[in-house]
Amino acid sequence: MILEGNAHRFIKPDGNDNDINTDYVISGRYKFQCEDYNELATHVMEDLDSNFYKNIKKGDIIVAGKNFGCGSSREQAPIAIIYAGISCIIAKSFARIFFRNSFNKGLPLIECDTDKIEKGDKLNVDLEKGIIKNLTKNFDIKFNAIPPLMLKLLHDGGLVNHFKKNKGFNID
pLDDT digits (tens, 9 = 90+) for 36-72: 899 999 999 999 999 999 999 999 999 999 999 998 7
Q: In this predicted structure, what is the pLDDT of residue 73?
A: 78
The pLDDT value given to residue 33: 73
**What proportions of the chain, in percent to the nearest 5, are helix, strand and coil?**
30, 20, 50
pTM equals 0.93
At 171, the pLDDT band (50, 70, 90 cuts) reads: low
Helix segments in the chain, DSSP class H = 22-25, 37-41, 52-55, 76-84, 96-105, 148-155, 159-166
Q: How many CB atoms lie within 10 A of CB 129?
A: 12
- Cα angle at 38 between 81 and 73, to 5 degrees? 45
